[in-house]
């Protein structure tokens, strides 16, 4: 009897961290995705685990890209972010860890930029529901940290992919010389990130 009570008590203690986390993993992911989609990167950081630098590096890279690119390219990046639609497919919780699977519809910017490079035309395509889209599946791992669910890992777009997309956009929208400049600056920034500067 005492052994059964002890096992039950230990189980309750282990699960307590997950039970007392403020928002559910689903809510945390929804808030994080909304923050990224709305370019609220400081807010997005609040949902990330202290143990992960990959996601933070990715957000920092996006902020940096938007800082160094001309307004025309920044408008296209913002439109692409706002056009993304995500649906949480499943959430599983095991103790202090959770896996959230996401289905995304993201703008197919390669196809879009074949049609137009003008931000106003891209916005019109988006408003009419005619923006070319493609499907993606992703997965987020969350852990309980400081009594809250925090994102510790994201399977999906990487910093390298974000840099490549920005360079590709720049070349199509601004020309090769400007794209080379942006690519060089992104590379320098990425090297500094690797060194922890």
Q: How many CB atoms lie within 10 A of CB 124?
A: 13
What token pair was written down for 130?
């005619």
Q: State which H helix or E strand residue 145 sits in.
A: strand 133-145
Pick 2-195's CATH classification: 3.90.1300.10, 3.40.228.10, 3.10.450.50, 3.40.50.920: 3.10.450.50
Largest CA-CA distance found in the chain, in angstroms, rounded = 76
Predicted confidence (pLDDT) per residue in 105-151, tens digit: 888 888 888 888 888 898 899 899 898 998 988 899 999 999 999 99
Instruction: Tell me the angle at which helices 159-174 and 71-83 cross, rounded to the nearest 10 degrees.
Output: 130
109 vs 153: CA distance, rounded Å? 25
Residue 14 pLDDT more than 50?
A: no
Contact (Cβ atoms closer than 8 angstroms) between residue 65 and residue 77: yes
Considering the entire predicted model, what is its pTM?
Answer: 0.76
Residues 6, 8, 12, 14, CA torsion sign: positive
125 vs 146: CA distance, rounded Å? 43
| Segments making up each domain of the chain, as ranges | 2-195
pLDDT of residue 163: 63
Predicted confidence (pLDDT) per residue in 89-107, tens digit: 999 999 999 999 999 888 8
11 vs 9: CA distance, rounded Å? 5
């Amino acid at each position: 009897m005492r052994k059964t009570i002890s096992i039950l008590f230990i189980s309750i203690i282990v699960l307590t961290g997950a039970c007392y986390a403020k928002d559910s993993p689903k809510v945390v992911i929804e808030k994080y995705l909304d923050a990224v989609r709305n370019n609220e990167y400081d807010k997005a950081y609040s949902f990330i685990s202290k143990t992960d630098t990959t996601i933070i590096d990715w957000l920092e890279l996006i902020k940096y890209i938007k800082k160094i690119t001309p307004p025309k390219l920044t408008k296209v990046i913002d439109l692409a972010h706002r056009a993304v639609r995500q649906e949480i497919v499943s959430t599983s919780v095991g103790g202090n860890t959770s896996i959230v699977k996401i289905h995304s519809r993201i703008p197919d910017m390669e196809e879009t930029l074949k049609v137009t490079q003008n931000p106003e035309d891209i916005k019109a395509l988006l408003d009419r529901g005619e923006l070319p889209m493609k499907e993606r599946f992703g997965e987020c791992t969350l852990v309980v940290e400081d009594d809250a669910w925090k994102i510790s890992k994201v399977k999906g777009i990487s910093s390298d992919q974000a840099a490549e997309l920005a360079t590709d956009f720049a070349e199509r929208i601004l020309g090769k010389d400007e794209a080379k400049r942006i690519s060089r600056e992104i590379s320098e920034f990425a090297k500094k990130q690797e060194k922890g500067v």
